[in-house]
Chains A and B, each alone.
Chain A
Amino acid sequence: MRLGSGAFATICVAIEVLGVAIFLRGFFPASVKSSSRTGLQAEPPAPEPLAGASSNWTKLPLPLFSKAVIVLIDALRDDFVFGSKGARYMPFTTYLVGKGPSHSFVAEAKPPTVTMPRIKALMTGSLPGFVDVIRNLNSPALLEDNVIRQAKAAGKRMIFYGDETWVKLFPKHFVEYDGTTSFFVSDYTEVDNNVTRHLERVLKRGDWDILILHYLGLDHIGHVSGPESPLIGRKLREMDGILMKIYTALLTKERETLSPSLLVLCGDHGMSETGSHGAASAEEVRTPLVLVSSAFERKPDDIRHPTQVQQTDLAATLAIGLGFPIPKDSIGSLLFPVVERRPMREQLRFLHLNAIQLSRLLQENVPSYEKDPGFEQFVMAEKLHGNWVKLHLEEDRSGALLNLGTKVARQYLGALRTLSLALSTHVAQYDTYSMAVGTIIVLETLILLLLSIPQVLRRRAELEVPLSSPVFSLLFYLMFLVLSAIHVVVCTSAESSCYLCSLPWLAAGGVMVLVSALLCVIASAFARMVMDSTFLRKVQQSAAHPCSGWSEVGLLLLLGTVGHVLSLGASSFVEEEHQTWYFLVNTLCLALSQETCRSYFLGDDSKLQCYFHTEPGTVGATCMRQDCTACEAPKAGQASKGLPSGARGGHTRWAVLAGPWLVLACCRLLRSLNHTGVQGAHRPDLSHWLTSPSHRMELSCLAALSLLAVFLLAQRGCSPVVKVALALGLLGVFCYRAATGNLLFPWQPANRGISKGILEARFVYVFVLGILFMGTKDLLRSQVIAADFKVKTVGLWELYSGLVLLAALLLRPHNLPVLTFSLLIQTIMTKFIWKPLRHDVAEITVMHYWFGQAFFYFQGNSNNIATIDISSGFVGLDTYMEIPATFLTVFGTYVGPVLWAGHLAHFLSAEASGDSAMGRACFCYALICSVPVATYIILVTSLRYHLFIWSVFSPKLLYEGMHLLITAALCVLFTATNQTGHTSAWTKTDARN
């Protein structure tokens, strides 16, 4: 089978995406789970231990509280309550914490600090896996055992108001609910009023047992304007008032019923210094947890400081306080202060229930649980407890017995702590089988790509993909049989659940077929390469190349890529990956400047000379650097775009010399625009300065200038209609930002009403679609009229400028200079470096890739989930629509790589001859993107017990997977545009040969 190198690369990347998907499915493990999954059937609670006999207290103890109100304030950081902000803005809560009947804790949330996994952690007491971040947007119902389900089983009536994630997680659990959507980040009043408006009525009614309120406003303020915003104080004061209202209402109710009720104030996660969340910094992880109840009355001199606990402890505490069984998967331990006023026998009973549940979980998840210190402590405590109960039943209460009981309780608490720690550190089993299969697929495609490098380098437009040789078909069937046997053995023997085994057998068989087919292709490609190389050696002996070898830039590109891939093994280099790219891009510019200098001053490379002094065609990209003769003898019949012979030299030469330095200066400016990474994120940068409300005028000017520059740079290659559309679209972008309140119109200085700007954004979308349509039309026309070569270039540029317009809409206003500089650098590089110096296609592709990566970080991204700008997914959307929102967010995040790849396509079609250049570029792009992914998968597998695996390496893995998916999409587009020009170029190459 013969394939174009572009199509071949596209297929390889597509298969690689599949492999990465299987790997990811296996890598993100299920959390610690109880295997006794008997559904709603309640097991009888463990009886109280009694030495030498069995206790008659086998029922669950009675609930401590009759009613509970849980107030969850999204992104409530611990210092918002316990710190100076709390004292200033939340006086009532501060009073409750300091002197009132309350116990306060600092609850530590585990990363990912994103809302849905945190709600799960609070209600199930278990640690959900990292993959929940991806599922955050369409949360399916929670299947694990949790407090809400237990409450429903116990016949409690629950009411919920707030984030509708809860309604999705617990469908049909609430007798009354009102879900508010969290997708309009800029709305922070309405979203909370929708919760509070029900409060008055519900508090009066009293026909409920549990009331849950989830306030989103604070989180939204954080996302929009950060934790230092004045809006935070206002919001906290509002929350304080709500707490006071609830507390007084509960007190009046208590006077009627005479049984204490419980008020819980908690946050799901904190807020970083930039107002975002998702990672593991102290600001994001520490949340307050305040339990208020008249049962916790204290003397005036009783000072209780907030102690540090885990967020997962709440589930067990709630279950015990409300008289349910503890959720089976909970790894939390009871917050002891809640029960310390109860009689000793009851206290011990609670502790025993919790310890039994934890030790069962340990038994089910750790094979060698008997050696665990926590388990040993628990056995010890249980024995002591039995003795204590025996004594307690024999003789009546005495001081000695109380002392002994305290000792037993202490023993239990120690056991609980150790057990809970052991469970939370016990990393759930990775699905090794799926991981291995995914890795094998990825590695096989990578090897295939590597093996076909020589063929592509020999400038063949087409690759031979051997599929039907009898020997290899035999190998294929053998491999398939062996793999199927392995599959059956693994799936029947493994105890842990395995993703591939849960697939239907047809799909699993398909994966096996794929693996064995790839192996056969590799084997035959390898065999042929060995034969070819012996043949080649003979050829080379007869005709030795005069000037072979690597150029400095080529060597730098190779070494830089290898160095970057290797650096991914260190967590700091992953965190600070932007530094690597900036460093590499700078070095590339210096190397290019050295190259331009040398060819200018010395002329030892005939490249510049041949550009300026002979009449060259634009052979550039396909002419390999070795055969310089090709440059001197330009091929006829190609568009000659050289400058007119008299006027060039002079300032053009100086521009060539200054080009790399201009690019360097641009990169330096962009670097100080957004500081990302871990070490630099807190340092003040230009974007902070620009986004602060007092500098809105400057931001508006900058955005207007950037949009103007974008127009000037992007309109060059377009047809007149597209030019007008582009101008109007860019104007629409400014109007959109002005409508959402980010920018100011110079003639409208007063604060106007802030809207979502839906109309303006849709106006821009119309133009984006129009421009893309025009571009596609031109491309298709170039296919029909085979001779018209220019039309294809124009069409590609129009497609590219459509993407630029979309990027301008999605990027936040302070990031618009990134877009401008991206276009500027592309222009400089094209005019002064790539055209005169005639780099090889491979070199140009790698340079585009490097710049694309650098621009990914220039716009403020990092390898941390929290820096994704979710708001770009809601531009111009009225309600949350999953597919467009996801598409827009992904595009908004990967603007840099996508635009540079688009520019590469246009550049090659304008400068290079025929389709072989495009195919080779596509091949190089696929190769250079899949090398890091394949290496990173192996690195992550070997580092899977690393301390930072969840906070650093896993997010990066997700980013890499996404990047590969985008690469696959780009390759498909490359190949598609290539096919359109295929026929014309094909005839040309034929004619030349």
Chain B
Amino acid sequence: MKDTDIKTLLYAHFLCIFSVILSVLIPSFFMEDFSILDTHLTWLCFCSLFVTSINLVLYLVPKPNASSKRSSLSHKVTRFLKCCVYFFVSCFFFHVIFVLYGAPLIELVLETFLFAVILSTFTTVPCLCLLGPNLKAWLRVFSKNGVTSIWENSLQITTISSFVGAWLGAFPIPLDWERPWQVWPISCTLGATFGYVAGLVISPLWIYWNRKQLTYKNN
């Protein structure tokens, strides 16, 4: 593991953070009265779109995993379709979990689903880009001592921090402050976003500080 790897990781993460910031800035240029709180759903769509596209670009360009062998077009197409299916399944799965956590079943379905989409964007999409539609690999990455590269390590950190952010975001909902961001699911989506960004910032730093101790099986 070299410092250049960590540097690449850092730049990639900066791009991701940049995409989140862009999703706040760009729509306000061509949309009247755009704000995160008032037109929350629009922002969610934009944010999801931007983060997904940046992840795709990152996946297509530097190929950090270097494991993609030459393969036929049909293989690529099925792989892509499989990724799409996985993404929707994960959205649905998150939606179910939110309902189990007490989100209303019938009202606010769109809000809940978009929250599921944004959380999938922060967690499933990077996994799909890095690991592909391979459940075994996912489970390996998310278990103890299962990571094999700094990319996987950072993936682990950002995913977990997104989840924790969304989880913590539910805490202000019962408080009686009557703020606009306490409405379901705004605090949770904001929490997930902050968690994701925090994970993006923390993971290169953490890897840099622990670079002596980190030894990967494949390196």
- Knowing A668-B102, A671-B102 are in contact, say whether A597-B97 is a contact too (CB < 8 A): no
Instruction: Determine whether the beta carbon of B174 is less than 8 Å from that of A572.
Output: yes
Partner of A602, one of B101, B143, B170: B143
Q: Please tell me if B140 contacts chain A, counting CB pairs below 8 Å.
A: yes
Instruction: Determine whether the beta carbon of A679 is less than 8 Å from that of B174.
Output: yes
Instruction: Determine whether the beta carbon of A668 is less than 8 Å from that of B139.
Output: no
Q: Please tell me if B99 contacts chain A, counting CB pairs below 8 Å.
A: yes
Partner of A668, one of B100, B136, B143, B170: B100
C-alpha spacing A572/B174, complex, angstroms: 6
Residue interface bits A572-586, CB-to-B below 8 A is 1, else 0 = 110110011011001
Number of interface residues of B (CB under 8 A): 18
Instruction: Determine whether the beta carbon of A586 is less than 8 Å from that of B139.
Output: no
| Contacts A583-B102, A583-B170, A679-B174 known; 4 new A-B pairs at CB < 8 A | A572-B176, A575-B174, A579-B174, A590-B97
4 closest residue pairs by CB, A with B: A576-B174, A572-B175, A572-B176, A664-B100
Instruction: Determine whether the beta carbon of B167 is less than 8 Å from that of A586.
Output: no
Residue interface bits A674-686, CB-to-B below 8 A is 1, else 0 = 0001010000000
C-alpha spacing A422/B163, complex, angstroms: 51
Q: For residues 158 through 199 of chain B, which have their beta carbon under 8 Å from a beta carbon of chain A?
A: 167, 170, 173-176
Q: For residues 107 through 145 of chain B, which have their beta carbon under 8 Å from a beta carbon of chain A?
A: 136, 139-140, 143-144
Contact residues in B for A677 (Cβ distance below 8 Å): 174
Instruction: Determine whether the beta carbon of B143 is less than 8 Å from that of A586.
Output: no
C-alpha spacing A604/B146, complex, angstroms: 10
Instruction: Determine whether the beta carbon of B102 is less than 8 Å from that of A602.
Output: no
Q: Please tell me if A665 contacts chain B, counting CB pairs below 8 Å.
A: yes
Kindly name the residue among B146, B167, B174, B176 whose own CB sees the greatest number of chain A CB atoms within 10 A: B174
Contact residues in B for A572 (Cβ distance below 8 Å): 174-176
C-alpha spacing A177/B162, complex, angstroms: 70
Instruction: Determine whether the beta carbon of B174 is less than 8 Å from that of A602.
Output: no
C-alpha spacing A664/B102, complex, angstroms: 10
CB distance from B111 to the nearest CB of A (A): 17
Contact residues in B for A571 (Cβ distance below 8 Å): 176
Instruction: Determine whether the beta carbon of B139 is less than 8 Å from that of A601.
Output: yes
Contact residues in A for B143 (Cβ distance below 8 Å): 598, 602, 604
CB distance from A413 to the nearest CB of B (A): 35
CB distance from B24 to the nearest CB of A (A): 29
Contact residues in A for B139 (Cβ distance below 8 Å): 597-598, 601-602
Per DSSP, are chain A's interface residues mostly helix, strand or loop, or mixed? helix
CB distance from A573 to the nearest CB of B (A): 6
Per DSSP, are chain B's interface residues mostly helix, strand or loop, or mixed? loop
Contact residues in A for B170 (Cβ distance below 8 Å): 583
C-alpha spacing A602/B102, complex, angstroms: 31
Q: For residues 965 through 991 of chain A, which have their beta carbon under 8 Å from a beta carbon of chain B?
A: none
Contact residues in B for A679 (Cβ distance below 8 Å): 174, 176
C-alpha spacing A579/B101, complex, angstroms: 10
Instruction: Determine whether the beta carbon of A570 is less than 8 Å from that of B140.
Output: no
Residue interface bits B94-106, CB-to-A below 8 A is 1, else 0 = 0001011110010
Instruction: Determine whether the beta carbon of A587 is less than 8 Å from that of B174.
Output: no
Partner of B140, one of A573, A587, A602: A602
Instruction: Determine whether the beta carbon of B100 is less than 8 Å from that of A665.
Output: yes
- Knowing A598-B143, A601-B139, A604-B143 are in contact, say whether A573-B175 is a contact too (CB < 8 A): yes
**29 A-B pairs in the complex with CB atoms less than 8 angstroms apart:** A571-B176, A572-B174, A572-B176, A573-B175, A575-B174, A575-B176, A576-B174, A579-B102, A579-B174, A580-B174, A582-B101, A582-B102, A586-B100, A586-B101, A586-B102, A587-B167, A597-B139, A598-B139, A601-B136, A602-B140, A604-B143, A664-B100, A667-B100, A668-B99, A668-B102, A671-B102, A672-B105, A677-B174, A679-B176
C-alpha spacing A571/B173, complex, angstroms: 13
C-alpha spacing A580/B167, complex, angstroms: 12
C-alpha spacing A930/B170, complex, angstroms: 27
Q: For residues 592 through 637 of chain A, which have their beta carbon under 8 Å from a beta carbon of chain B?
A: 597-598, 601-602, 604
CB distance from B185 to the nearest CB of A (A): 14
CB distance from A597 to the nearest CB of B (A): 7
Residue interface bits A315-341, CB-to-B below 8 A is 1, else 0 = 000000000000000000000000000
C-alpha spacing A579/B176, complex, angstroms: 14
Closest A residue to B177 by CB, please name it: A572
Contact residues in B for A598 (Cβ distance below 8 Å): 139, 143
Contact residues in B for A664 (Cβ distance below 8 Å): 100
Instruction: Determine whether the beta carbon of A583 is less than 8 Å from that of B140.
Output: no
C-alpha spacing A687/B73, complex, angstroms: 57
Closest A residue to B103 by CB, please name it: A668
CB distance from A671 to the nearest CB of B (A): 6
Closest B residue to A589 by CB, please name it: B100
C-alpha spacing A572/B179, complex, angstroms: 14
C-alpha spacing A679/B173, complex, angstroms: 11
Contact residues in A for B97 (Cβ distance below 8 Å): 590
Instruction: Determine whether the beta carbon of B102 is less than 8 Å from that of A570.
Output: no
Contact residues in A for B105 (Cβ distance below 8 Å): 672
Contact residues in A for B99 (Cβ distance below 8 Å): 668
C-alpha spacing A333/B6, complex, angstroms: 76
CB distance from B45 to the nearest CB of A (A): 27
- Knowing A598-B139, A602-B139, A602-B143 are in contact, say whether A583-B101 is a contact too (CB < 8 A): yes
Residue interface bits A500-533, CB-to-B below 8 A is 1, else 0 = 0000000000000000000000000000000000
CB distance from B213 to the nearest CB of A (A): 16
C-alpha spacing A280/B136, complex, angstroms: 56
CB distance from A946 to the nearest CB of B (A): 13
Contact residues in B for A576 (Cβ distance below 8 Å): 174
CB distance from A612 to the nearest CB of B (A): 19
Kindly name the residue among B99, B105, B143, B146 whose own CB sees the greatest number of chain A CB atoms within 10 A: B143
CB distance from B92 to the nearest CB of A (A): 14
Closest B residue to A587 by CB, please name it: B167
CB distance from A60 to the nearest CB of B (A): 49
Residue interface bits A747-767, CB-to-B below 8 A is 1, else 0 = 000000000000000000000
CB distance from B76 to the nearest CB of A (A): 27
Partner of B175, one of A570, A582, A597, A672: A570
Contact residues in A for B102 (Cβ distance below 8 Å): 579, 582-583, 586, 668, 671
Contact residues in B for A604 (Cβ distance below 8 Å): 143-144, 146
Contact residues in B for A575 (Cβ distance below 8 Å): 174, 176
Contact residues in A for B173 (Cβ distance below 8 Å): 579
Closest B residue to A574 by CB, please name it: B174
C-alpha spacing A671/B139, complex, angstroms: 31
Contact residues in B for A667 (Cβ distance below 8 Å): 100
Q: For residues 54 through 106 of chain B, which have their beta carbon under 8 Å from a beta carbon of chain A?
A: 97, 99-102, 105
CB distance from A939 to the nearest CB of B (A): 16
Closest B residue to A663 by CB, please name it: B100
Kindly name the residue among B99, B100, B136, B144 whose own CB sees the greatest number of chain A CB atoms within 10 A: B100
CB distance from B90 to the nearest CB of A (A): 15
Contact residues in B for A586 (Cβ distance below 8 Å): 100-102
Residue interface bits A356-397, CB-to-B below 8 A is 1, else 0 = 000000000000000000000000000000000000000000
Kindly name the residue among B101, B136, B140, B167 whose own CB sees the greatest number of chain A CB atoms within 10 A: B101
C-alpha spacing A587/B143, complex, angstroms: 18
C-alpha spacing A442/B140, complex, angstroms: 48
Q: For residues 281 through 299 of chain A, which have their beta carbon under 8 Å from a beta carbon of chain B?
A: none
C-alpha spacing A604/B140, complex, angstroms: 10
Contact residues in A for B174 (Cβ distance below 8 Å): 572-573, 575-576, 579-580, 677, 679
Closest A residue to B136 by CB, please name it: A601
Contact residues in A for B176 (Cβ distance below 8 Å): 571-572, 575, 679
C-alpha spacing A667/B102, complex, angstroms: 9
